[in-house]
Chains A and B, each alone.
Chain A
Amino acid sequence: MVVRVKVNDQWRDAEAWAGASLLTFLRDRLGLYGSKNACEQGECGSCSVWLDGTLVCSCLVLAAQAHGREVRTVEGVTASDRLHPIQEAFVEAGAVQCGFCTPGFVVAVADLLQKDPHPSPATVREALSGNLCRCTGYQKILDAVSLAAARMGGGT
């Protein structure tokens, strides 16, 4: 079947097997390799994207379910060539080691800071509870979130 999705503000369409996940569609059909394929069961958050503005694991969405809808991936967190402040904060805080989980974390952190520009430590932990990192031990990721929140200012 042909699946047509608005990805990062552009309508794209491609052939997809009916049982394919949105994640494999993004990676294998549209060449968007930012969303990572790790657990394929919603445990790790590496494939996090927005579907109609809602944070989801793209491995648990059928590509067909995204037909006619809007998807934003980690490639779409910023329109410019520069890094997003969240990405800069991850680099500066040393929140990246192997880097495999990083795109999912960047998306989940951006989702959090959109809703809550100044989250409490408990809120950050709950918001990132669906993203696994096996390298950093998380503390530097939490540092990166604080740094990004402080820089982005949240308009208050």
Chain B
Amino acid sequence: MEVLLPHSLDEALAMKAERPDAPPIAGGTDLMVDLNFGRRRPPSVIDLGHVGELASWHQENGHVILGAGLTYATIVREMPEFKPLVQASRSVGSPQIRNRGTVGGNLGTASPAGDALPVLAAYDADVVVRSRARGERAMPWHAFLTGPKKTALAPDELIIGARWPLRRGPGSFSKIGTRNAMVISVASVCLVVDEEDARVKVALGSVGPTILRATEAEQQIAAAMASSGAWQDPSITIPDQVIDEFGELVAAAAKPLDDVRGTAAYRRHGCRVLARRAIRWALNERRLPAWL
């Protein structure tokens, strides 16, 4: 086994083109476990730790561009205005894990329990990938995440990052697990309100083969807010019955399985409860004055 140490993205892409069977390593929080336990013995690995281009984020033309090498600790420190993303990042692992783990790792591993993934789904993010031979391409998150631990990444490509349109509106990420740290989600919900398009977007993690969007629930709550006038006037109350229906529709969108971390029924109920909380938090936040 050998470790390749590129010092730029171009160099890394050239190495990936020559060694399509070499997995990239950044924080190592997934790959090192497989190496330590002898589950994987790749002939070589490509260390992206010196590829600075991947470890930053910026805003451009109304979009956020988030590099695959950005760690969860950096997101928590530098991106407070992206609350659902910060909440998800802060729930990843432990301080040690957040100091190393990256969003690119969540994307590459493509576990349905990857905590950043429901946030990217609720943001309607595109995943940006690049190869030396064919250059850059971007695809919607759902085209990238093709199944449990499966992605549309070609063997000669590297994940560059994620890109999503900037939108105004409250949102949250919450998850269920057995403790507050070092926990793989049993169920997670990201809810984002888009005030500009009058939409509510809800993504679910750990309750299906990949990340799911609860589209019927999204339409139901947006329509209820439209017919009551709540989009224009946040002080208008949404009745409890509508919130309960919303929770039912979110629960119905889940496709959970029984496994060691929880039963399908528990996960579905978790989605129901988290969804009701998330929409209440968002509606309350819309009522706060803008200066708060």
The chain A residues found within 8 Å of chain B, CB to CB, are 1, 17-19, 21, 40-43, 45, 48, 54-57, 59-62, 64-65, 67, 108, 111, 126-127, 129-131
Contacts and interface: CB of A to CB of B under 8 A. Distances in A.
B33 A41 contact: yes
Given A59-B32, A129-B94, A64 B99 contact: no
Contacts, number: 93
B154 interface: no
B29 interface: yes
Contact of B36 (A1, A40, A130): A40
A130 B28 contact: no
Contacts of A48: 96
B45 A108 contact: no
B33 A40 contact: yes
Contact of B2 (A18, A21, A43, A54): A18
A65 B182 contact: no
Nearest to A104: B96
Contacts of A1: 2-3
Interface residues of B, number: 29
Contact of A61 (B37, B100, B180): B100
B25 A62 contact: yes
Given A41-B36, A60-B33, A130 B95 contact: yes
A1 B5 CA distance: 12
B181 interface: yes
B181 A21 contact: no
Interface of B: 1-3, 5, 25, 27-29, 32-33, 35-37, 41, 44-45, 47, 49, 73, 93-97, 99-100, 180-182
A12 B150 CA distance: 40
A42 B1 CA distance: 22
A18 B3 contact: yes
A60 B5 contact: no
A130 B96 contact: yes
Contacts of A42: 29, 32-33, 93-94, 96-97
